[in-house]
Amino acid sequence: MVRLRGMGWRRTAIVCAAAAVLFYAVWIFYLSGTMPSVTVAYNWSTAWLALDGFEALAALLTGIFLFKGSSYAALTAAGFSTSLCIDALFDVTTAAQGTPLVTAVLEAALVELPFAALSGMLAIKLLTAGTAPQTAAVEEGRRS
């Protein structure tokens, strides 16, 4: 990151992020008025199996990277956490009323979101543990 300083990449990234936020604000507003509340979803089971497969792969890779002591564990832990949050959101919002909705809410509250929180905290811990020594070394170099 130090080598990229002064190359304008940070300003470009900030402008791109701001543009994305503006785009999504308009897009969500548009979709809220145009999307049907009920629709037929083709390949429904494939979509859910793919999401669960991604979660399994992210968990597996996180374990492997942790075992190897690789810094990539922070990335896969963050991906696992994010995918669990998405899974919980779609489980709850697509469940039918009654028992399916109760089951989805319980699964989200008792399984998916707690694991997402733990995985997110792991990612943060790995990131801060990985950057703290480097930051200290950079600061020490500046003082010299």
- Tens of each residue's pLDDT in the chain, 144 residues: 455 556 678 888 888 999 999 999 999 999 999 999 888 989 999 999 999 999 999 999 999 999 999 999 999 999 999 999 999 999 999 999 999 999 999 999 999 999 999 999 999 999 998 754 444 444 555 555
Show the domain range for 35. Answer: 7-143
Query: Quick one: how far is CA 115 from the chain centroid?
Result: 13
Assigned domain for 91 exists: yes
Assigned domain for 2 exists: no
Assigned domain for 1 exists: no
Structurally, how many domains does the chain consist of?
Answer: 1
Assigned domain for 127 exists: yes
pTM of the complete model: 0.78
Assigned domain for 51 exists: yes
Kindly give, in sequence order, each residue whose CB lies less than 8 Å from that of residue 115, ignoring residues fewer than 6 positions away. 80, 81, 84
Q: Which candidate, 25, 72, 78, 24, places its Cα nearest to that of 55? A: 78
Assigned domain for 69 exists: yes
